[in-house]
Structure 1
């Protein structure tokens, strides 16, 4: 029971009075979440009931706009809570997530399966949308489609089964996330002897010692695991036995047969999704999902992947031969050797040493003189850190973002360091979405997983981490530049297979000469990265594309295999299913494991990418073509940035995604630039 006055004290019950409605994190306590979720759901259901029972004939304003305005408390608490569940979870947060996720699924069903609401929306569609403007007409059509895809047109019996499936799926997806986080932490590799860490940079060794100390393992070293199969430390470690330990720990996560095992959870999720697809008359979950994507059909995705897979695998085999040549007869190349010897070949071929580059990529410099600098040059933005504004964790920093004329456009929060309470990977979330209807400007956050150095030491990044920082900031720009009326269309609310496109485009500025020379400076000597090294770094990017493309395609094809199972299929042995799927797809290379295996494929089993992991390479077709456009038009120029912002980044989901691309590019995308980029052109 709440204490007296608790309702008035709950910070989610009122709109924040902080700049840009930044959530009042200083006042938010874990105890506030449950009552805020309960009040949020109760209030929205009352608002929806009023819409459904309105005696007036349905209009766009009294039905669709009213639905857009509903659920504000629920939106506020959800945005904060689910970011915390991903970036700073503890046992109580996980417990609340387990409780509330099924309730939220049921809450969504209560709205989307309401036949009265569906009747009002359908009546408006049948009336032809009257004199609505283009964005309003699209919103009406979107609502109608969402209700149909949610099951509003199903029979009562079908809806009853759908509710049960959705509730169970919600609980299972939360369980997958929490089990994976626990097993990832438990599987971290403990090293007793510093000599085993030979090859690891001094700051990385210090960070491993600090992590061990925090875990009560003084005198030892702890190597934590990132989300993908490949772990960055494998590049530099010379101790082959330790490399094998780390690799095996990585690829076995969630598959230990204990209480944190995720395999049966994943299999059950896939079975339920197939059953749900059948309720809608689809042969499998992938068909259901892709119907509402730019790809439209699984056949279109397989057609595109079929153009890439044979060449990628051939390149991977060629790279493996070169690595074996570097190894000699001492032993046979294994997955845990690949990164180490690939770096050797890269160094021998291009004289590029990944470890020696890290001192030139200091986090603060990359952020301010790289990421922010490029955004300033291209879009006229400026950034001011706001230490007076408190975020949800001491490591998370708040920046106010200004347009060229000094107008504030929103807040950007950067949370860059890894911790045991944060899930792996990197992502962008929104706390407040831009909407003219609601009078709100965006508040967005980027989460990364960079190892935090000891106090007083610089955070030095790998080039992959630099690239990730630019990538995630591309998502942030998509949110910050949003200029739409309705929150449904705000920022990154576009088709799932389109959402990675703007972020992938932003990666190009990481290696744009004037940007790179601005941030790639030795953190202690101030010496810039030489032009010769820069050119060799650029030249070296084609090396390893066989491995990178194959590991990605393997994960993509595994995702599709799980989500093309027929309704009624029960997978008894998920690992055997995985092995068969990879073999059948022609990507079962022992030394090139999928980027994600089933047991830790969070994107598809606890994220929003089910039957959609192909989105990255689908979007990369658009990205590579767009990079060519920038190069053809002078590159880092304000006119180019303004065009990209106006025609695409600002539009969110307010127009069809491919229409936005064509408005920007002047034509449909072409695949040739991607083939050249990945070394797949023949």
Structure 2
């Protein structure tokens, strides 16, 4: 049987041939991919000719194609449609992939060739993108330890393989415990406050688990749960919150506490080996922030105002219930909606009937992109994705020229990890002639057959956000694979996605998609205005829960190799208290044992990226407003000068090229009510 990973896919846009891929194809493809890639690297490193851009950088960028194909498809599958097979293989492959990466970045001859080009780059007559390619390779190889001696390199390899295994185990534990802790409800009356669609989704989730006649509330990745805003039964709310916060810390085989301690210790030891005081210093050295002190300065600047606002909001909630009970974390969302109703005469749950998922996608998300960028979308039912629920759309420019494929996977399932994300399946670059295919994954509960999928306000916002990442991946037009799509600094990558959120409530866009799923009536204008008027309402809570997680991530990664942490809960509580954000009613968005972003998701010492990028985002939204809003000229400028460059130039330089200056923080402070 021919292995489909051994050759490029013949399908449109290089879409992987999912219909032909079987479990037995993955390991042989990984093995051949490793072998072929190392042979290609050896040919570059051992070339007796002096290093040139053509005999070093070009073949380096072309290398590893089989490995790229199989790894991209496998890790998409392991995150969105996992199985016992993928879980087992991922644990086997994680240290092997780490060792393989080290075999390349720690190759002394290869590093010497890259260094020679770096030192003479101004004399090579290269275009700016090629110069930047040399600079990025040199910076990344140096940071990864290419300049260490042989003994230090061996220790580094051990660290990297151990960390790959530990972070993979953390993710698997979290998925398993999240599934195990789903809350079973026996009586539908306990779900009072949920609408028909939500109750239908809970019944369907229970049925899929063999719990006929019951209702199952599956957990989401953050501490809070969307249903907490609606459920009137306080005991059920408490059960959901308790289950959410106990993930990874209950003892047994899925406990993540020791993994947290081991991961942070190893990261600190590796950072010292690489010449950095802490892991946070190592990570930020090659981001736009540059130092953990710069991150700390910004986050701590925001924390006091956020905490004050949260306490004021809490006082309003307590006044609502009087002496009946003290407001707890599981009460906040429910009572917030009541206060919002009293103060602004608005309840975001009233918007849900106007957010039917298919209309939101086509007449909201897609339509906005058509207006701003001129692109169009056609569903390709002839193309098979990796799961029956994943749908494929062809994207074309206004002149009919192809842009790429967009894969949309909306619903939650036990085999899908929590949260929402975008990842590429094929990344555009002209060197190899690759087109582009990107995926958006969300985790919306699926209602029973025949019932409409109605999205919450937050779910609509998440869809616009993730589609912003997809646009970044679709629009980037670069020469080299290294710069494809969203391959930018971690603390810049959230910027384009956050910008795309602005279209959710933009008047023309909202009028086009927000219609009642039964009557077709548009969302009442007064409801929209009330929501906008309350835009800074509850921002104390929202900012506090985010900042607590961002600062907790920094705290874990600012420990040194000499520090010895032995108790996860104690460290977390102490760190949160030191930020002035230790309010029991405002829990951190992610506690350590289920903080997937930082312990398995690539955001280690980088969760600050969201608000760091939001400074750029808020300033960009102001630019759009100042320049006429939803105009093709504005979209074309943003596409060409920022989205379109991918990672092929310094991101802050790209921002200045678009904006005409550096970003200012005031629009962010205004947006979040932190003046």
Give the alignment partner of residue 264 of structure 1, picking from 228, 243, 258: 258
1:22 counterpart = 2:15: yes
* Paired position in structure 1 for 2:535: 541
Q: Quote how far apart the aligned CAs of 1:106 are.
A: 0.1
Structure 2 unmatched runs, 5+? none
Q: Quote how far apart the aligned CAs of 1:355 are.
A: 2.5
Q: Quote how far apart the aligned CAs of 1:305 are.
A: 1.1
Give the alignment partner of residue 401 of structure 2, picking from 388, 404, 407: 407
Asked if the contact 1:555–1:597 (Cα under 8 Å) also holds between the matched residues in 2, the reply is yes
The 2-side partners of 1:61 and 1:454 are apart by 57
SS in 2 for 1:13: coil
* Equivalences for residues 145-156 of structure 1 within 5 A: 145-156=139-150
Q: Quote how far apart the aligned CAs of 1:266 are.
A: 1.3
* Paired position in structure 1 for 2:180: 186
Q: Quote how far apart the aligned CAs of 1:569 are.
A: 2.5
* Paired position in structure 2 for 1:290: 284
The 1-side partners of 2:201 and 2:421 are apart by 23
Asked if the contact 1:10–1:36 (Cα under 8 Å) also holds between the matched residues in 2, the reply is yes
Asked if the contact 2:337–2:348 (Cα under 8 Å) also holds between the matched residues in 1, the reply is yes
Q: Quote how far apart the aligned CAs of 1:571 are.
A: 1.8
The 1-side partners of 2:168 and 2:271 are apart by 21
The 1-side partners of 2:606 and 2:637 are apart by 29
1:114 counterpart = 2:103: no
Asked if the contact 2:204–2:446 (Cα under 8 Å) also holds between the matched residues in 1, the reply is no
Asked if the contact 1:467–1:507 (Cα under 8 Å) also holds between the matched residues in 2, the reply is yes
Asked if the contact 2:514–2:522 (Cα under 8 Å) also holds between the matched residues in 1, the reply is yes
Q: Quote how far apart the aligned CAs of 1:141 are.
A: 1.0
1:584 counterpart = 2:578: yes
TM-score scaled by length of structure 2: 0.99
Asked if the contact 2:476–2:484 (Cα under 8 Å) also holds between the matched residues in 1, the reply is yes
Asked if the contact 1:52–1:117 (Cα under 8 Å) also holds between the matched residues in 2, the reply is yes
TM-score scaled by length of structure 1: 0.98
1:655 counterpart = 2:649: yes
SS in 2 for 1:11: coil
Range that drifts further, 537-546 or 618-627: 537-546
Q: Quote how far apart the aligned CAs of 1:127 are.
A: 2.3
* Paired position in structure 1 for 2:411: 417
* Paired position in structure 1 for 2:96: 103
1:465 counterpart = 2:448: no
Asked if the contact 1:362–1:459 (Cα under 8 Å) also holds between the matched residues in 2, the reply is yes
**1:432-482: CA deviations, max 9, x gaps?**
001010111110000000111111211100010000000000000000001
Asked if the contact 1:268–1:570 (Cα under 8 Å) also holds between the matched residues in 2, the reply is no
* Equivalences for residues 114-513 of structure 1 within 5 A: 114-129=107-122, 130-513=124-507
Give the alignment partner of residue 631 of structure 1, picking from 613, 625, 631: 625
SS in 1 for 2:645: coil
The 2-side partners of 1:356 and 1:29 are apart by 45
Q: Quote how far apart the aligned CAs of 1:128 are.
A: 2.9
1:45 counterpart = 2:38: yes
Structure 1 unmatched runs, 5+? 1-5
Q: Quote how far apart the aligned CAs of 1:126 are.
A: 2.1
Give the alignment partner of residue 79 of structure 2, picking from 73, 86, 109: 86
**1:641-681: CA deviations, max 9, x gaps?**
00000110001111100000000000010000000000001
Q: Quote how far apart the aligned CAs of 1:618 are.
A: 0.3
**1:583-619: CA deviations, max 9, x gaps?**
1111111000000000100000001100000000000
The 2-side partners of 1:305 and 1:208 are apart by 38
Instruction: Report the count of equivalent residues.
Output: 674
1:679 counterpart = 2:666: no
The 2-side partners of 1:263 and 1:519 are apart by 45
The 2-side partners of 1:566 and 1:315 are apart by 33
Asked if the contact 2:121–2:134 (Cα under 8 Å) also holds between the matched residues in 1, the reply is no
Asked if the contact 1:201–1:355 (Cα under 8 Å) also holds between the matched residues in 2, the reply is no
Asked if the contact 2:300–2:579 (Cα under 8 Å) also holds between the matched residues in 1, the reply is no
Asked if the contact 1:369–1:518 (Cα under 8 Å) also holds between the matched residues in 2, the reply is yes
* Equivalences for residues 45-64 of structure 1 within 5 A: 45-64=38-57
RMSD: 0.8
Q: Quote how far apart the aligned CAs of 1:119 are.
A: 1.0
